[in-house]
Structure 1
Amino acid sequence: MNLPHDDKTCGWYAALPPPQPARRLSGSQRADYAVIGAGFAGLAAARRLAEHEPDARIVLVDAQRVGEGASGRNSGFVIDLPHKFALENPDAQFKQRLLRLNRTAIAQLQSLVDEHGIACQWSHAGKYQGAVGERGLAYLAHFEKLMAALGEPFHAVEGRELAKVLGTTHYSRAVFTSGCYLMQPAALVRGLARSLPENVELLENSAIQRVERDGLGGYVLHGADGQIHTPRLLLGTSIFTREFGYLHNRLLPVMTFASWTAPLNAAQCKRYSGTFDWGLTPADHAGTTVRMTQDRRIIIRNTYKHVPKYGRSVDDSTRESIRAEHRKAFLARFPDLADVPFTHTWGGVYAISRNFTNFFGQLEDGVFASACDNGVGAAWGTISGTLLADRAVGATSSLLDDIHAVTGMPSLNPPEPFLGIGVRTRIRLAAWNSRAEV
């Protein structure tokens, strides 16, 4: 079984104080519900189960510490709009359902941040979608047409107005949409974990290595030092869902990488001509994501790798090469900040499907899963985990109708070695075509 094997150089996680000692799985335990995966989906599922059944015992178990996995490694966007590929869907109702789901997730996270005082740089900052050259501008024009058809407000920003925000003249044009929130992802998920209801027990550094039926209609989750017996199992495991034998030939593991700088000092802040606390995604999806954080760090994210063995597929030399490419992208945008060093470079694994379809629902009797976020995990994980708990307890709602309408079965992948060759070729081709936008 391939377990999570993330690098230990995630800047978001390193910026936090050390966590309290972890509770680990040991001995034989029983739970009314077990949830595997303490990312956005698993945390939301466990919280919702506890709300539905306050007398039930709910065990949430993760192979790592909360915030060390994919949920704490993203770029810190919580996006309300349908993602790039979903936005292409010709069904207007499909896109409206996604908007409702994403905005419900944002409202839910906002409420939890406020209620529990979660310090995670939470900010209603909106989002810029930026273009550098002709290819990016063509994508941006197409995005504007899709937004107009969707009936969502946006406005174009260019020239001096754009440079005053971003502190760089690198971008020709951008489109601003106001519904996106920014945050510190590792801080957010750690705060969500600390504020779980009392009938949820969180077990960390406790990899589940095998799940089997118990012969009584339930399941036994086997870890290195203990087992969990439960009649109902919820999987918030994204790409790792396939390690438990589900959706095995339908999910593709992809890793994307980010680097960030040390916080800008006073002299560097004087040289920097932009604002603080903004985020930009590329109009061309293979381009570069850039963020300026509230604590004055600049993040550069680009480069995609097919990682069939997750973190074990990437070695130190690959990370160093990626870091060098990130440095080029940084200097192209901020040449006046050449003295600002990078302090961390990290990767994060997520699941995509060939037909860009998310899975949500029941896998077999007593087993439910939300898998394959296709790269938009914060909002999708939050709402899909919440609604998965509703599904598991038999609740009904219009939001459940929405999520069933926009999800389905990820398509089958071709066998290896054809799959790996095809994915790597497609990633290389996208990188070549988008090189001016990187």
Structure 2
Amino acid sequence: MINLPNDDKSCGWYSVLPPAEPATKLAATQKADYAIIGAGFAGLAAARRLAELKPNARIILVDAQRVAEGASGRNSGFVIDLPHKFSLEHPDPELKQKLLGLNRTAIAQLQGLVDKYNIDCQWSAAGKYQGAVGSRGEAHLNHFEQLMKNLGETYRWVEKEELTKVLGTNYYSRAIFTPGSYLMQPAALVQGMGKNLPKNIELLEESPIRDLQKSDGKWILHGDHGTIITPKVLLATSIFTKEFGYLKNRLLPVMTFASWTRPLTDEEMKRYKGELDWGLTPADHAGTTLRMTADRRILIRNTYKHVPKYGKSIGNETRQWVQTDHRRAFLARYPDLADVPLTHTWGGIYAISRNFTNFFGQLEDGIYASACDNGVGAAWGTISGTLMADLVVGADSQNLADIQYVTGMPNLNPPEPLLGLGVKFRINLAKWQSRSEL
């Protein structure tokens, strides 16, 4: 039995979208040249690339939920060009340069789609601040500066006075600004890409795949009301890849949480005194992510939780204490906006691995996967999905060679209950160590 996504229905990004058209669902027996499971960043990119490479093929893209309801529509709205913090510390400079190139290829790809289809998703070349609250955060910033120098990347220091004018709060002491990141409304971007797929892609939503079986050289994907028969299956399923029997005991399901306000009124904007359309990530990775959206919403993201049962691990009580934590962080930064409520609190699941390695490649005959984004899903999902399609059809490229260079096999996890206890301990320890930066 495959455990399915069970996301809460309180995602702010998704809630403000216009109502979606009725879903087309899997019914009867369908035959396809290629089937892709998962319609997030990776699945959408894989389907689009397959359609470009094989314009006469029949391609089915199937998802258990609606497009943008899952993890791809639940992040904080950053598309980051720089390798993740832990990858930046990798001893191999060539690996870091390849990751940087792959991320920037993904950003250019997304930019092209936003422009081509006029996707209204607050797409913005705003860059990114990495902010410190106190001495612990500033020590992390000094380390980050050295990593930027080693990488040969552009950055600049932003001191407290300038930072306060941007953020509308004097809570932060210093920041480093890097110009290559983009901001967006993730649910709007993902939904917009789903609405503008090539003609030879059939998108089936609200159609969970319950089982994979092989018969006579073909894969049979069993749904509730129909099946898909195909020789090639692409798993763009991230943490749920292990539900199909692959990468078992190698991926960790972690949920991070965000809350946001309603749009600030004109009068509240005067009290806020900052700018619109910026994003700040914490110098200390366990700290707080902060955003002001282009439509005047302040977003707070922190709090991590190990979720072995995915969305079923989270109830209303958990969301309430998460919102209480977020409210505390909001008031610490914006005490003059104490009357502004947090209207939505939501979580999103992503996969991490103990050796911080992403999987990309063939799992067995006819089964391919990109899994384990390690928390940087927008750029990584886009480029890994695109290149998974190239791998399936045998289209060689430098980018394909690069992604094969930087990926590998996630380490095995210890057995339960040691795994759950260990993850909970690490999360709580990181929160305690970073308490001054929250």
Other-structure match for 1:424: 424
Question: Helix, strand or coil for the counterpart of 2:436?
Answer: coil
Alignment of 1:222-301 (within 5 A): 222-301=222-301
Q: Distance in 2 between matches of 1:190 and 1:320?
A: 28
Alignment of 1:26-425 (within 5 A): 26-214=27-215, 216-425=216-425
Q: Distance in 1 between matches of 2:318 and 2:160?
A: 36
- Once the two structures are superposed, what CA deviation does each residue of 1:10-45 show, in whole Å capped at 9, x if it has no partner? 000001011000000010100000000000000000
- Give the CA deviation at 1:289: 0.2
Question: Helix, strand or coil for the counterpart of 1:375?
Answer: coil
- Once the two structures are superposed, what CA deviation does each residue of 1:330-356 show, in whole Å capped at 9, x if it has no partner? 000011111111110000000000000
Q: Distance in 2 between matches of 1:166 and 1:158?
A: 12
- Give the CA deviation at 1:315: 1.0
Q: Distance in 2 between matches of 1:244 and 1:217?
A: 18
- Give the CA deviation at 1:323: 0.2
Q: Distance in 1 between matches of 2:257 and 2:3?
A: 20
Q: Distance in 1 between matches of 2:392 and 2:218?
A: 14
Q: Number of paired residues?
A: 437
Gaps of 5+ in 2: none
Question: Helix, strand or coil for the counterpart of 2:408?
Answer: coil
Please give the root-mean-square deviation of Cα atoms over the aligned residues, in Å.
Answer: 0.5
- Give the CA deviation at 1:91: 1.0
- Give the CA deviation at 1:90: 1.3
- Give the CA deviation at 1:112: 0.5
- Give the CA deviation at 1:392: 0.2
What is the TM-score normalised by the length of structure 1? 0.99
Q: Distance in 2 between matches of 1:184 and 1:330?
A: 20
- Give the CA deviation at 1:218: 1.5
Question: Helix, strand or coil for the counterpart of 1:205?
Answer: coil
User: Residue type of the partner of 2:173?
Assistant: S
Q: Distance in 2 between matches of 1:378 and 1:97?
A: 17
Other-structure match for 2:8: 7
Q: Distance in 1 between matches of 2:40 and 2:346?
A: 17
User: Residue type of the partner of 2:199?
Assistant: E
Q: Distance in 1 between matches of 2:248 and 2:349?
A: 16
- Once the two structures are superposed, what CA deviation does each residue of 1:144-172 show, in whole Å capped at 9, x if it has no partner? 00001100010000121110111100000
Q: Distance in 2 between matches of 1:61 and 1:22?
A: 11
- Give the CA deviation at 1:182: 0.2
User: Residue type of the partner of 1:378?
Assistant: A
Aligned residues with identical type, % of pairs: 71
- Once the two structures are superposed, what CA deviation does each residue of 1:209-258 show, in whole Å capped at 9, x if it has no partner? 100102x2110000010000000000000000000000011000000000
- Give the CA deviation at 1:205: 0.3
Q: Distance in 2 between matches of 1:377 and 1:335?
A: 33
What is the TM-score normalised by the length of structure 2? 0.99
Q: Spell out structure 1 runs of 4+ moving beyond 6 A.
A: none
Question: Helix, strand or coil for the counterpart of 1:120?
Answer: coil
User: Residue type of the partner of 1:208?
Assistant: I
Question: Helix, strand or coil for the counterpart of 1:211?
Answer: strand
User: Residue type of the partner of 1:434?
Assistant: S
- Give the CA deviation at 1:133: 1.2
Gaps of 5+ in 1: none
Q: Distance in 1 between matches of 2:391 and 2:217?
A: 18
Question: Helix, strand or coil for the counterpart of 2:435?
Answer: coil
- Give the CA deviation at 1:415: 0.4
